Structure 1
């Protein structure tokens, strides 16, 4: 059975799962470390936090910051679009380096998962009041970390300029998946199946993006390589949210 903890620190609220409790403590320490790097950079460069547009690449910045800049710039949006996924990835990577066989961090719907166990892990989809309910993705074992990041214009506090109930992106670059989910959500300006199909190329043709799913109302669109979709009992009360 996996160990689980909901960890809260300032604006960060994450759910951490791992095969051993020790790895959860390792993840928490890495989350705090990552937050400090980002806070210190913002302290010197406040525009980094405020901008909703591409940010000039900083060759002197810590690698964590550079990852966020690169992810946001890929879609012409601000680097903070990648903050949750970047922190989640850093924590899972540290757990992996320390020997975890299963590690997952859900940072407000932006998930990094590492699973080398002999069975798939199911990650549920939450799309608010959409007709698309009780679905999940079956994540097969792999020696690579996978990002499953979600943006919504109808659920949660994150900034979105679109109509999506859930814009979900899969990538082995979790920072990129996070920014891509924001970009995909922004691309859906109006509801309807036709508009979903028009919005998906905003991210599906980008190098590094494995696949994308866009949900709005009763409509769902997919592009690229998507994990197997399965039935899942999605309990709203256990979803990581701020």
Structure 2
């Protein structure tokens, strides 16, 4: 089995340079554990901080009332009215068969991004490798896959002009998020960032080696709302769905 390691590139978030923002202004906003990178038509740091604080308040209030919400690894029952961000996380976890916190990064990226869209219709929000975007044309999002020879050499071409899209990535070899597998990267494309995030986690949990790529993809493509999947293990790659890959050139 592959050794799961931490990555300096992930810690320093240099992978953020792999998002093609088509000339948009860039800025980063940090609130406690939340660290979001933005590309927008103008610097919206103040509005972004307000949106982050709102999302965090909903999450912190819900977790205070239901502490197990933060730790469960199984789907959470949607048995009561709840804020939209909590509802999206719960629904995504149910669809993907994981706990709601598997969707938290994607959900925050999308809800903050949607709050900023009235100020900047073109917007890209990145949260720990999970991306929500609405752009005027096609954008290229590089795939960071740790020590894989494919890392930083290929990207996903995403057209988010008609409606917002999300690209979320899970890995068993890089980063700090819990993964029960050892895929170098599992990328999921969806119109819902919460669903993409939860599904990427669920697929990655099923990948213990290159021989699991097709089986994991076969699982992921059964989830309604998933538009595309990319799985990378070492030098092997598997793809499915309405996606297009482009070469980024040599790693340097």
Paired residues in the alignment total 229
CA distance in 1, matches of 2:160, 2:241: 19
- Answering whether residue 146 of structure 2 is matched by residue 125 of structure 1, we say no
Q: Bigger CA drift: 55-64 or 80-89?
A: 55-64
Q: Where does residue 190 of structure 2 map in the other structure?
A: 171
CA distance in 2, matches of 1:234, 1:145: 29
- Answering whether residue 178 of structure 2 is matched by residue 156 of structure 1, we say no
Contiguous gaps of at least 5 residues in structure 2 = 1-22
After superposition, where does 1:1-242 map in structure 2 within 5 Å?
1-22=23-44, 24-96=45-117, 98-116=118-136, 119-133=137-151, 134-189=153-208, 191-192=209-210, 194-231=211-248
Runs of 4+ in 1 over 3 A off after TM superposition: 232-235
* Aligned Cα root-mean-square deviation (Å): 1.6
User: Please, what TM-score do these two structures have when normalized by structure 2?
Assistant: 0.86
Deviations 1:153-198 (A, max 9, x none): 0000000000100010000011100000000100112x12x32111
Partners of 1:125 and 1:234 within 8 A in 2? no
CA distance in 2, matches of 1:58, 1:21: 39
Partners of 1:153 and 1:185 within 8 A in 2? yes
Shift of 1:120: 2.3
CA distance in 2, matches of 1:233, 1:106: 24
* Compared CA separation, residues 141 and 232, structure 1 to 2 (3 A): farther
Shift of 1:233: 7.1
CA distance in 1, matches of 2:72, 2:115: 29
Partners of 1:126 and 1:234 within 8 A in 2? no
Contiguous gaps of at least 5 residues in structure 1 = 236-242
Partners of 2:158 and 2:243 within 8 A in 1? no
Shift of 1:101: 3.1
* Compared CA separation, residues 171 and 232, structure 1 to 2 (3 A): farther
Partners of 2:31 and 2:49 within 8 A in 1? no
Shift of 1:206: 1.2
SS of match in other structure, 2:226: coil
* Compared CA separation, residues 86 and 201, structure 1 to 2 (3 A): same
Q: Where does residue 240 of structure 1 map in the other structure?
A: none
CA distance in 2, matches of 1:89, 1:195: 30
Q: Where does residue 238 of structure 1 map in the other structure?
A: none
Shift of 1:13: 1.2
